[in-house]
Structure formats: C-alpha cells, structure tokens
Amino acid sequence: MVWVMNKNAEFVYLDYASTSPVDKEVLVAMEPWMTTEFANASSTHTMGYESRKAVDTARAVVADTLNSSSQEIIFTGGGTESVNIALFGVAREVGQGHIVTSAIEHPSVLDTCRALEKEGFELSVVMPDENGIVSVDAVSAEVREDTILVSVMYANNEVGTIQSVKEIASAVKEKNPNVLFHTDACQASGALSLDVKELGVDLLTINASKIYGPKGVGALYIKNGVKLKPLMYGGGQERGLRPGTENVAGIVGFAKALEIADRDREEESVRLIGLRDSFAARLLELTPGAELNGDALQRLPNNINVLFKGVSGEALMIHLDQAGIQASLGSACAAGVVGPSHVLLAMGRSKEEASSSVRFTLGRQTTGRDIQFVLEVFPEIISKLTTN
C-alpha cells in the first residue's frame, strides 16, 4: 500500500528502540577520524599509530563502562554480528552439545541458535510468562550436563521487559559451572548497568545505534579464558575474531556514545519513566479495551507496547505516519514481509492480537509536547479505524 504523508503535520519520532540519531558530541568525536586522521589502525607509520591509539582508547572506555579489562572487548560491525561471533564461536569451538535460549530473543539470537540446531546441536527454547518475563527457574530447569551455552537477553526490544540476567546466570552456573552465559544487552544499554562482573556473564553484546552512536558498529565482551572459534579469517584484527580494517571513526563514536549514555543514564531514565507512564495511561484511557503488552514495572524506561483490540496495527501505523508520528509495529519485519510478533505470540497473544499491537519508544529528543501532540490526534485516528 502506498500513501502520502501529511507534510504539514508535526513530526514526532517514537521509534528509538529501532535506532537513534547520532549525538552531536559523538559526531564531533568522530569527525577527525573520517577526514584528517584517516589512516589504517594496522599501518606501521605515525598516522597509523595515531589511529591505533584512538581504537585502544575507545576500547578502554568501553571496558571501563562494562567493568572489564580492555583485553576482554572486541569491536564488531554491530549487534547482530556480535551475537553471531559469540554463539557460533562458542558452539563450534566445543563442537557438540546442548544450547538454551528464550522464545523472546532478537532474531539474531534465535536464528543463530536454530542454525546451530541444524548443525547437530540440541536446542531448548524457554517460554516467557504472559508478561514477557523469562523465569529463573524455567531457564535453570533446561540446563543439563551436556549444556554448553545459555543465551538470555537483558531487555526485550519489542515489549521492553527486563530479564533477571544476574539471577538467571547465577542459577545456570550453580547447576552446571561449565556452561557459558551470553546476554544480548543492545536494548539495555543506556538504561541499565552493564557491569559484567555484577551480572555474572561470560559474553555480552552491545551496539552503538541504540545509544545515539553510529550505525554499523558494536562490541562483544568475552570473559578472559573463554575460547571462540572464528567465523571469518583475514588480517587477525580484534583477536582474530573480527578481521578486517577497523572502523576507527565508528569505534571512536561508539565509545563516546556509550560514555554519554552511562553518564546520563539515571537522570534520563527518571525523565523517560515519567513520560512513558503518563503517555501509556492516557493511551489506555483513550482506547476502550486497549492493553499494555509486557510487565508494567519490570520494563525499560522508554518502552510502551500496546494492544489496540479490533484495530489493524498496520492500518494504525499508516494513519500515525500520515499524521507525522513515527512508531513501529509490535511485530517482526524482515525483508519487507510483516508477520505477527514472535515475542507477543510467545507471551500468549493470538495472531490477531499480535497484529493489533504497536510499539512506541521514547528517546532523548522526546518531549512532553511531542506526547501531547500524539494524544491530540490519536482519538480521531482510532475512531476512523474502529468505525470503518
């Protein structure tokens, strides 16, 4: 379907869980490494040494935020690549065994696990409760003597539920100390503590685009002693796990973005929670039968995912877009094909309910005025969709 957006409408972006704009401080930090300081960080001349120094400094910043050593951080091409390096790396290093994950993981985790299942690894997928919470006991119950890897996300990208990663990792290790634990923390960055020692994880994935950094760059924490088999081979950069010329500008930008996000995390979370709760309450008041998807309290500060019963989520998205409001469907979208959200289905929603859900995610640029604008136009949009 093709439609024309109302060019006169106020533009409100509420899709920060998808990606965020690059922070101005981040752009300033990146600029020299795209222009005057452009050398390859592997080159053995003065300019190359300067690029190497920038990468090393950025690595130290990321390590400091994660409470790890610099040697435990490798830079990647994004969150998905980081996940693939971690999961394929562990499995292929061991060669055989059992893997545990949850049904609400990002596709990069679920699809990688399913690919490993086709390679001969056994896979157990833990279901969440109706609020999108994966229980500690449910994960621990799946751990066996031959389990080699468990991957449970820190915070869900669709419904914003925060998982008890520290407790899950502890329970897993208590049952089988040899199991390696990975968490996808891409959505948690900037909202939750990333202290890997406190969390008790062996591997942790983060990326830049969710925290006002550049797209196409991420990082993987690999606890000292954990061995991964490389997926790619080449020049040996990033401990041989991500070979190729380093994206110096992207890496510098990522580190700066993470530094800012961690610095402002608590203050910004308080602000966003206030906006989130008032916005969610009004949406539910304005729409009879509407329900919040995901736990009301154990969720990210910026996430609102709502089921609008009897309303097509796709149609609602079109009308919102025409009004200049950018949100996202509560469903997975791959290669332009939209289907019911695997997360909502795992939580017990029907296909119809999953297709009637929309996600609004707030960010640094979101203001009370933005929320008020959405609330002003929303009743008319819902009225059109429920009377047609």
Helix ranges (H only) for 187-312 are 196-199, 248-286
Catalytic sites, residue numbers: 333
Tell me how far apart the alpha carbons of residues 112 and 105 are, in angstroms, rounded to a whole number. Answer: 11
Exposure string of 275-301, with b = 16+ CB inside 10 Å and e = fewer, is bbeebbeebbeebeebebbbbeeebbb
- Find all residues with CB under 8 Å of 369, minimum gap 6, and list them: none
CA dihedral 304, 213, 182, 128 (to 10 degrees): 10
HSE at residue 138, side-chain half, CA atoms within 13 A, is: 16
Distance of CA 44 to CAs 39, 57, 248, 271, Å? Answer: 10, 18, 15, 47
Distance of CA 253 to CAs 33, 339, 376, Å? Answer: 10, 34, 37
Query: Are the CB atoms for 261 and 211 separated by under 8 Å?
Result: yes
Query: Are the CB atoms for 45 and 241 separated by under 8 Å?
Result: no
Contacts 24+ apart (CB under 8 A), 28-31: 29/252, 29/253, 29/256, 30/214, 30/249, 30/250, 30/252, 30/253, 30/256, 31/249
Closest C-alpha to 350, from 327, 333, 334, 330: 330
HSE at residue 341, side-chain half, CA atoms within 13 A, is: 32
Q: Would you give the distance in Å from CA 279 to the centre of its chain?
A: 22
Tell me if residue 146 falls in helix, strand or coil. coil
Query: Are the CB atoms for 262 and 111 separated by under 8 Å?
Result: no
Q: Would you give the distance in Å from CA 230 to the centre of its chain?
A: 23
